[in-house]
Structure 1
Amino acid sequence: MGVVSGVVVFVIIWWLVFFTMLPHGNRPPEEVEEGMEPGAPEKPRLWKKAAITTVIALVLLGVFMFVQDQGWITFRGNPFDKPGQ
């Protein structure tokens, strides 16, 4: 996998993990003020979630690169080709 491919895969993994991390640890505010969305979290802690997401995405990228380098998964060639042709 090249550098550009690695960066693209990392960005895709990062966003997928980030969107799954967003609802974790959110609590609704105890007092809803006028003009405030009642479903908005009190303290979203986005920087903490972004840091955790980066670590998880790096680990998943490493696993993905290991599996691809071992040849267990390949994205090259036509999957419909029959062996021996």
Structure 2
Amino acid sequence: MRWQSMLAIYILFWAFSVFLVLPFGVRTAHEAGVELVPGQAESAPHAFNPKKIAIRTTAVATLLFVLFYLNYVNGWVTAETLDWVHR
């Protein structure tokens, strides 16, 4: 596999992982015990930390990419494995 393909696939895993990571560890102002800012939704997160989310996302994306690459090299799951119609 070319390095450009690997980079593109990793970026796709990273973008997908953002949506997996975002809901975890979110606390609302009510849960944090602070006052709401006027006009703030009650469900809005209390403190948004993009650095923490980026680190978590990178860890999840790297794990998923390593599993993908190991499957690519070793051929654990192939298209024939997933073809249940023509067995």
Same fold (TM over 0.5): yes
Quote the RMSD (CA, aligned, Å).
2.0
The residue number in structure 2 matching 1:83 is none
Residue 52 of structure 1: aligned partner: 56
Alignment match, 1:40: 44
Q: Which residue of 2 aligns with 1:28?
A: 28
Structure 2 unaligned spans of 5+: none
- How many residue pairs match? The answer is 77
User: Identity, % of aligned pairs?
Assistant: 29
- Mark the runs of 5 or more structure 1 residues left unpaired by the alignment: 80-85
Give the alignment's TM-score, normalised by structure 2.
0.73
In 1: Cα distance, 2:37 partner to 2:47 partner: 15
The match for 1:15 is 15
- The TM-score, its normalising length taken from structure 1, stands at 0.75
